[in-house]
Amino acid sequence: VQLVQSGAEVTKPGASVTVSCKASGYTFSDYFIHWVRQAPGQGLQWMAMFNPTRDYTDYAQEFQGRLTLTSDTSTSTLYMELNSLRSEDTAIYYCARERSYDHWFGPWGQGTLVTVSS
């Protein structure tokens, strides 16, 4: 079982960024995928969850309207797009798996550093 994320990104304030998370070693539709971020020296922050079976997404209130999760079931890949970036969005972004309704996360992707800087 593996979640492999795309590489580091450097982008400017106001722009958008897309991070991918490719799943392998299990049936993609049997598990939810969550996105969690961690700003430098800070704690973990839950962002959103994607249910591939129902094509359903829950977003943390803070990110509603600015965050979009999509999937490509043919490649078992999840995409996280965050818009209107600001410096405070500089963080490591992780995807993590949840067996449907188990309410815990594991395994995690390796993380993707997104740097927002002018």
Determine contact, residues 37/91, Cβ cutoff 8 Å.
Answer: yes
Please count the other Cβ atoms lying within 10 Å of the Cβ belonging to residue 117: 10
Segment lying near other proteins (by CB under 8 A), choices 6-14, 15-23, 55-63, 75-83: 55-63
Instruction: Output DSSP code: residue 78.
Output: E
Q: How many CB atoms lie within 10 A of CB 60?
A: 13
Q: Which stretch binds other proteins (CB under 8 A): 13-21, 66-74, 83-91, 96-104?
A: 96-104
Selected from 94, 112, 114, 116, the binder of other proteins by CB under 8 A is: 94
Residues that bind other proteins (CB under 8 A): 34, 36, 43-46, 49, 58-62, 94, 96, 102-106, 108-111
